[in-house]
A and B are shown apart, each in its own frame.
Chain A
Amino acid sequence: MSSFLKVDNVTMQFGGVTAIDSLSFEVQKGQIYGLIGPNGAGKTTIFNIITGNLHPTKGRILLNGEDITGTKPNKVVYKGIARTFQNIRLFKSMSVLDNILIGFDARAKYSYFEAILRLPRYFKYERELKEKAYELMEIFGISQFADYFATELSYGNQRKVEIARALATNPKLLLLDEPAAGMNPNETADLSEIIHKIKRDFDLTILLIEHDMKFVNAMCDSVTVLDYGEKIFEGKPADAIVNEKVVTAYLGDFTHA
């Protein structure tokens, strides 16, 4: 079986610092794949490379067999990739509805002139998009906040808006950067359920970065563990937490203590 996302021998250097060193891993279609590792291990860098924000020094990114290395961020969306951020990056004092509507931009098929001239296509699409936005908000249980400013929502709900906004771009591959960060156990459980649901309903493949090992264990089919930009483990999450190298990376090497 060919992989859906293939990170092929990627190296990323910033000046003299090697943030990622010859990293390869493959995500199969329909998987929830975890990328874990201590702070500074290069996890978010990988996300930035996949979405085209960074151009890798070496290596390739393949999506469904197609080389998408260095595709610009606003084009990567059309390949079916969307992401959320570790530090929530919503459009702060815009309404939740507008935040999600902008995600539909890629799909809104009317031109500037049609909008100015108020041609029927403009109204038709605006109405359709609004309906779709409400459907998305329903899934996350945030439709009652549609007219609130994004910043007026609780942290957990802001995360949901961010995921909803990512889904609005109609992705096949969803990248979640620490989706459970800063959430209490109830919110985390709620989030796990939603992620499973959207994965099913939207036929998604998910790559997520997370520190909460309990969450990773419950969510992920497979994980790659990074330390200082190198892969130190790949396999089932349950095996990762008993792996000697992984434990050393997180807790330090006690043999020399």
Chain B
Amino acid sequence: MTLQIFLQQLVNGASLGSMYALIAIGYTMVYGVLRLINFAHGDIMMVGAFLTYFALEASMPFELSVLVGIAGAIIIGILTDKIAYKPLRSAPKISLLITAIGISFFLENLFTVLFGSTPKPFHAPEYLTKIFQIHGIYLPISVIIIPIVTVAILAGVLWILFKTKQGIAIRALAFDIETVKLMGVNADKIIMIVFAMGSALAALGGVFYAISYPSIDPLMGIIVGLKAFAAAVLGGIGSVTGAVLGGFILGFTEIFVVAMFPDLGGYKDAFAFFFLILVLLFKPTGLMGQDLERGRF
């Protein structure tokens, strides 16, 4: 492998990893407070991408369209919690999990019925898709911007978690919801904030996905969502830094394995789950995860 190809794959991997990372943060934060694997999370990403697409079709400027997508995803994320998960707060965790899968199917089928299953072309503005060529490396602007935005967002999320009163409450919720309430904290509001944050990041991940593979369809959230989930587990579910780390590791591995062993290209989706199985076998708490009774985020 020449240096050029190596660098090319490196930027591609960083870009793909960023998408997984953004979506994985939502998985890990919701798990942190509710102990719920929110399987509808990948579909929230799809909702974000679709709403952005519709806003673009209505000839809104790109930046505004992304905001529309994010806002819509936040609303759907919060509604999911309020309508489907909140009534089950004291129910067994397995009921929550099944409900999450139900919401996932619901969103996928709703969007298929409403908008058809044919993939729709996603037209990102030219300044994002313009390709630079430096020493034989092809660099669409988006591939540079996506990882930078992701790292900045990680810094922002960590700052919120560790430096604001809402962040302290989010971390405390992971330990003991009843006691948090006795501190005067409205636990439902904090859980709402967590869903809002997760959904916003998922929508952004969905937009990045749509820019990189310029088409969207109602089932796009399934495989990306599952991979992001694998990334969250790989990093240590509950840990935000771990989720981002897991996302990048998964992105790099996927890109490099395909680059080095083109024959295995057809199996690229399998690597994430191969990783997931290895992690569950040898280090169930993940890279950054600790004993469930100990640290979170």
Binding site for B on A (CB under 8 A): 51, 53, 72-74, 76-78, 82-83, 85, 89, 91-94, 98-99, 101-106, 108, 110, 112, 115-116, 122, 126, 129, 151, 165, 168-169
Interface of A is mostly: helix
Interface pick from B72-80, B138-146, B182-190: B182-190
B158 to chain A: closest CB distance in Å? Answer: 13
- Asked if B296 is at the interface (CB within 8 A of a chain A CB), the reply is yes
Within 8 Å CB of A115, what residues of B? Answer: 160, 163-166
Query: What 1/0 mask marks residues of chain B from 158 to 181 whose CB sits below 8 Å from any chain A CB?
Result: 001001111011011001101111
- 7 closest pairs, A vs B, by CB? A106-B184, A77-B184, A73-B181, A115-B164, A74-B181, A91-B172, A91-B175
Interface of B is mostly: helix
| Contact status of A102 and B185, CB under 8 A, knowing A94-B172, A115-B160 | yes
CB nearest to A115 among chain B residues: B164
- Asked if B294 is at the interface (CB within 8 A of a chain A CB), the reply is yes
Residue from B166, B171, B184 in contact with A78 in the complex, judged by beta carbons closer than 8 Å: B184
Whether A102 and B172, one on each chain, are in contact in the complex, defined by CB atoms closer than 8 angstroms, is: yes
Whether B178 and A102, one on each chain, are in contact in the complex, defined by CB atoms closer than 8 angstroms, is: no
Whether B186 and A92, one on each chain, are in contact in the complex, defined by CB atoms closer than 8 angstroms, is: no
CB nearest to A111 among chain B residues: B166
| Contact status of A105 and B164, CB under 8 A, knowing A74-B186, A82-B182 | no
- Asked if B34 is at the interface (CB within 8 A of a chain A CB), the reply is no
Whether A102 and B182, one on each chain, are in contact in the complex, defined by CB atoms closer than 8 angstroms, is: no
| Residues 255 to 297 of chain B near chain A (Cβ within 8 Å) | 290, 293-296
Chain B interface size, as a band, is 20 to 34
Q: How far is the CA of A77 from the CA of B182 in the complex (A)?
A: 6
B188 to chain A: closest CB distance in Å? Answer: 9
CB nearest to B176 among chain A residues: A89
- Asked if B124 is at the interface (CB within 8 A of a chain A CB), the reply is no
Whether B178 and A53, one on each chain, are in contact in the complex, defined by CB atoms closer than 8 angstroms, is: yes
- Asked if B193 is at the interface (CB within 8 A of a chain A CB), the reply is yes
Q: What's the count of A-B pairs with C-beta under 8 Å?
A: 85
Q: How far is the CA of A168 from the CA of B165 in the complex (A)?
A: 13
Q: How far is the CA of A168 from the CA of B182 in the complex (A)?
A: 11
Within 8 Å CB of A92, what residues of B? Answer: 175, 293-294
Q: How far is the CA of A104 from the CA of B166 in the complex (A)?
A: 11
Residue from B168, B178, B186, B296 in contact with A101 in the complex, judged by beta carbons closer than 8 Å: B168
A161 to chain B: closest CB distance in Å? Answer: 12
Q: How far is the CA of A110 from the CA of B165 in the complex (A)?
A: 9
| Contact status of A105 and B181, CB under 8 A, knowing A91-B176, A115-B160 | no
Whether A105 and B183, one on each chain, are in contact in the complex, defined by CB atoms closer than 8 angstroms, is: yes
Whether A105 and B165, one on each chain, are in contact in the complex, defined by CB atoms closer than 8 angstroms, is: yes
Within 8 Å CB of B293, what residues of A? Answer: 92
Within 8 Å CB of B185, what residues of A? Answer: 74, 102, 105-106
CB nearest to B290 among chain A residues: A93
Whether A51 and B175, one on each chain, are in contact in the complex, defined by CB atoms closer than 8 angstroms, is: no
Query: What 1/0 mask marks residues of chain B from 91 to 107 whose CB sits below 8 Å from any chain A CB?
Result: 00000000000000000
Most buried by A among B165, B178, B293, B296: B165
Whether B175 and A94, one on each chain, are in contact in the complex, defined by CB atoms closer than 8 angstroms, is: yes
* 22 A-B residue pairs with CB within 8 Å: A51-B182, A72-B181, A73-B178, A74-B181, A77-B183, A78-B184, A82-B182, A83-B182, A91-B172, A91-B176, A92-B175, A98-B172, A99-B172, A104-B165, A105-B184, A106-B185, A112-B166, A116-B160, A126-B163, A165-B183, A168-B183, A169-B184
Q: How far is the CA of A185 from the CA of B77 in the complex (A)?
A: 53
Q: How far is the CA of A132 from the CA of B61 in the complex (A)?
A: 48
Within 8 Å CB of B294, what residues of A? Answer: 92-93, 151
